A and B are shown apart, each in its own frame.
Chain A
Amino acid sequence: MKNIHVSTTVNGDELEFVCAPGETLLDSLRDRLGLKGAKEGCGTGDCGACTVEMNGEIVCSCLVLGAEAEGADLRTVEGMATGDKLHALQRIFIDEAALQCGICTPGILVAAQTLLERNPDPSESEIRYWLAGNLCRCTGYDKIVRAVQSAAAEMRGA
């Protein structure tokens, strides 16, 4: 089958790429657009390292086809910072050591960003359940949950 031409929006930029019919959105982002922030940890939607936001919903980009991005509005970790200015979540993840190896970090940041946009004041339990699809093997999640709480407080102006 021939490759498919896709027009999409990634982090506010209108972009085009071609992809194979069976190609995942994750591979399209990484190999066609050079956006390597989303990672493949499992390829089966179990680890969340490939999390991106698509039309306002977080998705495992390994379970979405590249072709499905036609006309979509995508947000990835590469779009979180504004120029040199990190998003509060990014800055606080560094300040509070919420990452060790960092491989799960892009997916967790994208998921947490979506959470805080919907729910500016999540409880610890809400954060834990929202991030239950994002595996982290290094931290035991403690500092991740706390960093999300801190970022939420800062973003609320609390």
Chain B
Amino acid sequence: MNFPAKTKRDFKVVGTRVARPDGVDKVTGRALYGADFSVPGMLVGRILRSPHAHARIRNIDASRAEALAGVKAVVTAADFGVPEDAALRDIQDNCMAREKALYHGHAVAAVAAKDAETAKAALKLIEVDYEVLPHVTDVDAAMAADAPVVQEGRADETVPEGSGPNVTMYTEFGHGDLEAGFAKADLVLERSFKTEATHQGYIEPHACLATLTGGRGELWCTTQGQYLVRELCAGILGMEASQLRVTASEIGGGFGGKTTVFIEPVALALSRKSGRPVKIVMTRSEIFCATGPTISSSMDVKIGITRDGRITAGEATLRYQGGAFPCETVSMGAQAAFAAYDLEAVRTYGWNALTNRPKEAAYRAPGAPVSIYAVESVVDELCQEFGLDPLEIRLRNAARDGTKASYGPTFDQIGLVATLEAAKAHPHYTAPLGENQGRGLSCGFWFNFGGNTCVSLNLNNDGTVGITEGNPDIGGSRASISMMAAEELGIPYDKVRTVITDTNSLGHNDVTDGSRVTFAVGLATIEAARAAIKVMCARVAKIWGIDEEAVVWEDGHAKPSGPNAGDFDPMSIEEIAAIASETGGPIAGHHEVNAEGAGVSFGVHLADVEVDPETGATKVVRYTVFQDAGKAVHPDYVEGQMQGGSVQGIGWALNEEYIYDEDGRLQNAGFLDYRIPVASDLPMIEPVILEIPNPGHPYGVRGVGETSIVPPLAALSNAVSRAAGIRLHELPMSPPKILKAMMSKG
């Protein structure tokens, strides 16, 4: 879809910093999240999880648990069917192990009981007969020909013969003659990297309340997509979509991790068996053990450069593991790796291997942070070798409008050069550094997504407007949607109220992911407003007795298009609404679309760190984020995405990691030992918004949610390298690793 260029449009509402509509509920404690909803007669559901990383389930005896007073139902995999569709089967098997427990924490049985104490006691009475099997959690070990086999027969048609038994896919992207490219270089560097898995770390646990009786279901849950939850749960439980209504609660963070199901089908199955509503709330340790961490990786990157800073060729081999089920995240990593560069010769290769770890779930720009970390680290090292300015080198080689991207398409209007120029002009780039301090830079990229979207806009009798949309608001999107409706209708922001509805009240909406909501729901909202305007103009034309085309819409009023149309006083939206029943009935606009043209987003981060030579601890002392937002609808929340993503990336770079012991058990399944950044770890994060309009959106909007997690990994690694004189090729750069590297350097 293309819209007329409106880059010069004078926005009245869009671009202001209005109060969000859900703000008061959220600062007073009234907002209802996943765990905050209850119904009479509700049971408490709890899940029994495998203590082993890999084990065959020979038998489950739940008779003693079922006999315990107050226990109303026990379910295991035997209570579910076996879906034909492999992806759905994997999701179900991840919710409840069938035949084998594939990772530490994998669900094997669940109970519903009158209260939490009884449910907990019942779990202890379930006897599972395990045959413990050899396991593998490291990606390189999992790739080997003689690795323990996580699942048989999961390689797809892309996997070359002779690959290890855990390899599930292979992919390749790029263009040009690599050999010729490397031959032109004055220096070719090849480096290998490893990164550990991280968790999204949303503060709100997964929680749901399910009722499934007489074939009809009601599900309340915290999710990024109620429609997907319905589709997956209906598929797993053998129901028709119309019989399961899913309502999304307020959501306490997701970052991609709430784009699938873990407990919802289990709660529904327990409810079906017990005939009672069942609530399940995960503990934090269950969240770490059994919900989506990101991939871990092992990567080789080779880049050639001329003495004067032209990159002649780039090549990357990525090996990702996404847990015990096939995972295609490496494909996105392979596409994103060199996206910031205009290269004549580039090639990326991606492999995925199964391991005995939890099933990967999306995490903000899935796959991109680590591959771009590896590329941006090698580019920085090349700059150090030749004494080149890392920002100038990025500018020199930057992808521009018309560049053939390393992953295939040709870029249309992109903001990378403008973003780099902004970084170059910013005082941060030339500010003096103190002792033990260093400055790092990295580019970042994300594709962004549009997708299936429905919006209904209803004109109320008093001329105010209600919008119904279907995407959970994870960071202020209701405000942005109301703003775009107000902008298009020419009415004040506070005349519009946006609500997020259940699955029964609107057609299908894709999940809140891919930075898609402000773009796609915004686009559909603008189109819904245009549809309503068309109806209002037609009604007014009827009243005035003139052609519909002779009525125009301006600032919330229908007006004659010019002197030839006749001399009529403008009619306000309130006046039109008040007499709607006399002009044809209620007035509404709606729009349904599979939105394309999301528009890629680039960012550049500058990080100053100070490395303590005594302890190896890294402190971020200054951080600036430059990012292209296309058009920032609500600048506060655009900045919030930029700041929040940056800090997640800082955590990934410095502290966060999954630590497994030799038995394959997760050792740090809690916020004390899996340490996400806290307020005292950080400086202010300065956001600089660039606005290079996206031609695929009527206001030029691009998604902004994901790009910001990408650059911190390399920006910090590059900064540490310059501060401490050592270069790590491994994340996280925890203090012991840095100290060891500093000491061995002497």
Name A's B-contacting residues (CB within 8 A). 20, 30, 35-44, 46-47, 49, 76-78, 80-81, 86, 89-91, 93-97, 99-106, 109, 124-125, 127-129, 131-146
Q: Beyond the given A35-B29, A49-B203, please list 18 additional residue pairs across the A-B interface where CB-CB is below 8 A.
A: A30-B36, A36-B29, A39-B252, A77-B28, A77-B29, A86-B27, A97-B20, A99-B26, A101-B475, A102-B27, A104-B203, A105-B26, A105-B27, A131-B680, A137-B644, A138-B644, A140-B647, A140-B685
* Chain A residue contacts of B250, Cβ below 8 A: 101-102
Please determine whether A37 and B30 come into contact, CB atoms closer than 8 angstroms: yes
Name the CB-closest residue of B to A124. Answer: B684
Q: Is B284 an interface residue (CB 8 A)?
A: yes
Which secondary structure dominates chain A's binding surface?
loop
Q: Is B255 an interface residue (CB 8 A)?
A: yes
Name B588-647 residues within 8 Å CB distance of A: 634, 636-637, 639-640, 643-647
Name the CB-closest residue of A to B650. Answer: A140
Select which of A78, A97, A125 is within 8 A of B476 by beta carbon. A97
* Chain B residue contacts of A138, Cβ below 8 A: 253, 475, 640, 644
* Chain A residue contacts of B30, Cβ below 8 A: 37
Select which of A37, A42, A90, A137 is within 8 A of B253 by beta carbon. A137
Please determine whether A140 and B205 come into contact, CB atoms closer than 8 angstroms: no
Please determine whether A137 and B205 come into contact, CB atoms closer than 8 angstroms: no
Q: Is B542 an interface residue (CB 8 A)?
A: no
Please determine whether B672 and A101 come into contact, CB atoms closer than 8 angstroms: no
A49-B203, A142-B684, A144-B679 as given contacts; A93 in contact with B671, CB under 8 Å: no
Closest 3 CB pairs of A and B: A37-B29, A103-B252, A102-B26
Q: Is B17 an interface residue (CB 8 A)?
A: yes
A-B contact count (CB 8 A): 178
Select which of A39, A90, A132, A133 is within 8 A of B28 by beta carbon. A90
Please determine whether B670 and A46 come into contact, CB atoms closer than 8 angstroms: yes
Name the CB-closest residue of A to B671. Answer: A46
Q: Is B32 an interface residue (CB 8 A)?
A: yes
Please determine whether B637 and A100 come into contact, CB atoms closer than 8 angstroms: yes
The smallest C-beta distance from A142 to any residue of chain B, in angstroms, reads 5
A38-B29, A95-B19, A137-B644 as given contacts; A101 in contact with B202, CB under 8 Å: yes
Max chain B C-beta neighbours (<10 A), residue from A90, A96, A125, A133: A90
A47-B671, A102-B26, A135-B671 as given contacts; A41 in contact with B204, CB under 8 Å: yes
Please determine whether A128 and B680 come into contact, CB atoms closer than 8 angstroms: yes
Please determine whether B644 and A139 come into contact, CB atoms closer than 8 angstroms: yes
11 contacts between A and B (CB under 8 A): A35-B29, A41-B671, A77-B27, A94-B19, A97-B17, A103-B204, A125-B680, A128-B680, A133-B678, A137-B203, A141-B682
Q: How far is the CA of A76 from the CA of B27 in the complex (A)?
A: 11
Name the CB-closest residue of A to B26. Answer: A102
* Chain A residue contacts of B685, Cβ below 8 A: 140, 142
Name B634-678 residues within 8 Å CB distance of A: 634, 636-637, 639-640, 643-648, 670-672, 676-678
Q: How far is the CA of A106 from the CA of B32 in the complex (A)?
A: 12
The smallest C-beta distance from B690 to any residue of chain A, in angstroms, reads 19
What band does the interface of chain B fall in when counting residues whose beta carbon is under 8 Å from A? 35 or more
A35-B29, A44-B670, A46-B670 as given contacts; A136 in contact with B203, CB under 8 Å: yes
Please determine whether B202 and A100 come into contact, CB atoms closer than 8 angstroms: no
Q: Is B39 an interface residue (CB 8 A)?
A: no
A47-B203, A101-B202 as given contacts; A139 in contact with B643, CB under 8 Å: yes
Please determine whether B678 and A132 come into contact, CB atoms closer than 8 angstroms: yes
Please determine whether B29 and A78 come into contact, CB atoms closer than 8 angstroms: yes
Please determine whether B251 and A101 come into contact, CB atoms closer than 8 angstroms: yes
Q: How far is the CA of A129 from the CA of B671 in the complex (A)?
A: 17
Q: How far is the CA of A131 from the CA of B645 in the complex (A)?
A: 20
Q: How far is the CA of A44 from the CA of B31 in the complex (A)?
A: 23
Please determine whether A97 and B24 come into contact, CB atoms closer than 8 angstroms: no
Q: How far is the CA of A96 from the CA of B634 in the complex (A)?
A: 12
A44-B671, A127-B679, A137-B203 as given contacts; A103 in contact with B29, CB under 8 Å: no
Q: How far is the CA of A77 from the CA of B639 in the complex (A)?
A: 26
Q: How far is the CA of A39 from the CA of B476 in the complex (A)?
A: 20
The smallest C-beta distance from B207 to any residue of chain A, in angstroms, reads 10
Max chain A C-beta neighbours (<10 A), residue from B24, B28, B682, B685: B28
Please determine whether B28 and A37 come into contact, CB atoms closer than 8 angstroms: yes
Q: How far is the CA of A90 from the CA of B20 in the complex (A)?
A: 13
Q: Is B701 an interface residue (CB 8 A)?
A: no
* Chain B residue contacts of A132, Cβ below 8 A: 678-680
Select which of B35, B476, B679 is within 8 A of A100 by beta carbon. B476
Name the CB-closest residue of A to B28. Answer: A81
Please determine whether A137 and B23 come into contact, CB atoms closer than 8 angstroms: no
Taken residue by residue from 5 to 42, chain B's Cβ proximity to chain A (1 for < 8 Å, 0 otherwise) reads as 00000000000010110111011111111011000000
Name B63-114 residues within 8 Å CB distance of A: none
Please determine whether B678 and A101 come into contact, CB atoms closer than 8 angstroms: no
The smallest C-beta distance from A22 to any residue of chain B, in angstroms, reads 8
Name B222-273 residues within 8 Å CB distance of A: 250-255
Select which of A100, A125, A127, A145 is within 8 A of B644 by beta carbon. A100
A76-B29, A100-B476, A103-B204 as given contacts; A94 in contact with B643, CB under 8 Å: no
Q: How far is the CA of A139 from the CA of B284 in the complex (A)?
A: 20
Name the CB-closest residue of B to A91. Answer: B27
Q: How far is the CA of A127 from the CA of B682 in the complex (A)?
A: 12
Q: Is B187 an interface residue (CB 8 A)?
A: no
* Chain B residue contacts of A90, Cβ below 8 A: 24, 27-28
* Chain A residue contacts of B283, Cβ below 8 A: 43
The smallest C-beta distance from B185 to any residue of chain A, in angstroms, reads 38
Please determine whether A103 and B203 come into contact, CB atoms closer than 8 angstroms: yes
* Chain B residue contacts of A80, Cβ below 8 A: 27-28
Q: How far is the CA of A30 from the CA of B281 in the complex (A)?
A: 14
* Chain B residue contacts of A37, Cβ below 8 A: 28-30
Q: Is B474 an interface residue (CB 8 A)?
A: yes
Please determine whether A41 and B203 come into contact, CB atoms closer than 8 angstroms: yes
Q: How far is the CA of A90 from the CA of B672 in the complex (A)?
A: 28
Select which of A38, A94, A135 is within 8 A of B676 by beta carbon. A135
A39-B252, A101-B252, A102-B252 as given contacts; A140 in contact with B646, CB under 8 Å: yes
Please determine whether A44 and B29 come into contact, CB atoms closer than 8 angstroms: no
* Chain A residue contacts of B202, Cβ below 8 A: 101, 103, 137
Max chain A C-beta neighbours (<10 A), residue from B19, B31, B645, B679: B679
Q: Is B164 an interface residue (CB 8 A)?
A: no
Q: How far is the CA of A47 from the CA of B670 in the complex (A)?
A: 10
Taken residue by residue from 689 to 722, chain B's Cβ proximity to chain A (1 for < 8 Å, 0 otherwise) reads as 0000000000000000000000000000000000
Q: How far is the CA of A44 from the CA of B672 in the complex (A)?
A: 9
Q: How far is the CA of A26 from the CA of B716 in the complex (A)?
A: 39
Q: How far is the CA of A40 from the CA of B647 in the complex (A)?
A: 23
* Chain B residue contacts of A129, Cβ below 8 A: 679-680
Name the CB-closest residue of B to A81. Answer: B28
Please determine whether B33 and A103 come into contact, CB atoms closer than 8 angstroms: yes
* Chain B residue contacts of A97, Cβ below 8 A: 17, 20, 476, 634, 636-637, 639-640
Q: Is B201 an interface residue (CB 8 A)?
A: yes
* Chain B residue contacts of A105, Cβ below 8 A: 26-27
Please determine whether A39 and B27 come into contact, CB atoms closer than 8 angstroms: no
Select which of A94, A139, A142, A145 is within 8 A of B24 by beta carbon. A94
The smallest C-beta distance from B376 to any residue of chain A, in angstroms, reads 21
Q: How far is the CA of A135 from the CA of B678 in the complex (A)?
A: 6
* Chain B residue contacts of A140, Cβ below 8 A: 643-647, 677, 682, 685
